[in-house]
């Protein structure tokens, strides 16, 4: 068994990095322009390219995904309560709370782990102003039903699409659903600008507001402070990284798919025996293979695998753990048993470009041995 140990650590993720010469070329442009931030030429170029790539009506770029989500919530003047999912990264809940709103947690579905539309309506009160779902692991939420519920009750919808770069559903690019979608370009995501993020949206009028809100509320034309804003501008170094990485992201997704399929193949026996369940893309979806996630059939087994893998120099991640309504810093209702169960049994395995299919085979062998050993 020990001969399965890797000599070099296998991390759960590693960033997409372009050849350094390509980034240097962009840095030269920055030095020529002497423009480092505040709506610079590279940011504008990246904005145009991403608008096309994500195939959306409007896009605005930000310093990171989280702050853009806070700005999205602010721009829609939401009040009171927001229905959201507990099975997400801390960011989603914190963006709600930082806007002085109350998150109300609806439980998720047990197949794709997204906010379950069946649980939304019973939580709507006179105080509810919006729904903030998350496209978990890049699998789109039930966007049709969420749209329907939002229309019926006159609620806004902001999607946390941090995992869903490049995803489309029945041919419609994911950034076109809801009032606003937030994408994260953090180093760990499929497409990165080091740190970075974007909002996509259909209402043209939001452009003006976003430009102001991300620059201390200063309006882009009158230079007046018309809103209470934040500093959330994307800088030129981020934009430069985005411009070069964008040329590689399609190939990156192809490589991810190969690794993903190798995992499926190598874990098929364990899956057939009911030891694990693999999170698969929905049928109607063009997927980005951002994560390879399995669900074990008990929390003891999940924790055992999680703790044993590092002995083989392999690092997995409990993602997301715990559910957001269980963070000790807040005191929220914890009545979302499906989210809790998923959180207790989930494990994300390594998937990144410099991983080889042989590495994947070996990781699967280790997991199989560990589980059979129990
Ligand atoms: C990464 C992530 C965010 C935050 O994005 P940043 O760009 O890191 O600020 C928000 N929500 C989810 C689900 C994420 O995975």
- Tens of pLDDT, residues 13-68: 999 999 999 999 999 999 999 999 999 999 999 999 999 999 999 999 999 999 99
Length of the chain: 374
Measured from CB, residues less than 6 Å from any atom of ligand 1 are 64-66, 88-89, 91-92, 134, 160, 162-163, 184, 186, 197
Angle between helices 249-266 and 357-373 (to 10 degrees): 30
Distance CA 178, CA 165 (A): 16
- Tens of pLDDT, residues 82-94: 999 999 999 999 9
- Residue with the smallest CA separation from ligand 1 atom 7 is 65
Output the CA 366–ligand 1 centroid distance in Å.
30
Judge if pTM exceeds 0.95: yes
Pocket test for ligand 1, best of 115, 160, 183 (most atoms within 8 A of CB): 160
- Tens of pLDDT, residues 348-366: 999 999 999 999 999 999 9
Pocket test for ligand 1, best of 139, 184, 194, 348 (most atoms within 8 A of CB): 184
pLDDT in tens, the chain (374 residues): 668 999 999 999 999 999 999 999 999 999 999 999 999 999 999 999 999 999 999 999 999 999 999 999 999 999 999 999 999 999 999 999 999 999 999 999 999 999 999 999 999 999 999 999 999 999 999 999 999 999 999 999 999 999 999 999 999 999 999 999 999 999 999 999 999 999 999 999 999 999 999 999 999 998 999 999 999 999 999 999 999 999 999 999 999 999 999 999 999 999 999 999 999 999 999 999 999 999 999 999 999 999 999 999 999 999 999 999 999 998 898 899 999 999 999 999 999 999 999 999 999 999 999 999 87
Pocket test for ligand 1, best of 186, 288, 291 (most atoms within 8 A of CB): 186
């Amino acid at each position: 068994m020990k001969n399965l140990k890797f000599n070099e650590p296998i991390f759960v993720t590693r960033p997409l990095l372009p050849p350094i010469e390509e980034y240097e070329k962009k840095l030269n442009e920055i030095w020529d322009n002497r423009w480092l931030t505040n709506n610079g030429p590279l940011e504008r170029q990246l904005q145009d390219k991403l608008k096309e790539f994500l195939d959306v009506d409007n896009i605005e770029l930000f310093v990171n995904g989280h702050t853009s989500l806070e700005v999205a919530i602010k721009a829609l003047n939401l009040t009171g309560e927001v229905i959201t999912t507990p099975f997400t990264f801390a960011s989603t809940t914190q963006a709600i709370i930082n806007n002085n709103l109350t998150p109300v947690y609806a439980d998720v579905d047990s197949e794709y782990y997204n906010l379950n539309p069946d649980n939304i309506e019973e939580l709507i009160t006179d105080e509810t102003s919006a729904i903030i779902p998350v496209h978990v692991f890049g699998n789109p939420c039930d966007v049709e039903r969420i749209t329907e519920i939002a229309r019926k009750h006159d609620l806004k919808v902001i999607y946390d699409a941090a995992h869903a770069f490049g995803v489309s559903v029945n041919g419609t690019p994911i950034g076109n659903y809801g009032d606003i979608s937030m994408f994260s370009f953090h180093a760990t995501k499929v497409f990165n600008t080091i740190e970075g993020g974007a909002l996509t949206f259909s209402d043209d009028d939001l452009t003006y507001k976003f430009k102001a809100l991300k620059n201390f509320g200063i309006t882009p034309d009158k230079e007046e402070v018309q809103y209470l804003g934040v500093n959330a501008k994307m800088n030129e170094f981020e934009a430069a990284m985005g411009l070069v990485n964008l040329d590689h992201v399609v190939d990156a997704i192809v490589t991810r798919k190969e690794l993903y399929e190798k995992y499926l193949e190598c874990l098929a026996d364990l899956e057939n025996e009911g030891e694990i369940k693999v999170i698969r893309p929905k049928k109607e979806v063009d997927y980005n293979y951002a994560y390879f996630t399995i669900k074990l059939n008990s929390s003891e087994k999940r924790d055992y695998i999680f703790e044993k893998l590092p002995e083989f120099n392999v690092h997995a991640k409990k993602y997301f753990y715990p559910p957001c309504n269980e963070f000790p810093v807040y005191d929220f209702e914890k009545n979302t048993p499906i989210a809790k169960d998923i959180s207790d049994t989930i494990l994300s395995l390594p998937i990144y470009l410099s991983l080889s299919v042989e590495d994947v085979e070996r990781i699967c062998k280790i997991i199989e041995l560990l589980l059979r050993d129990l």
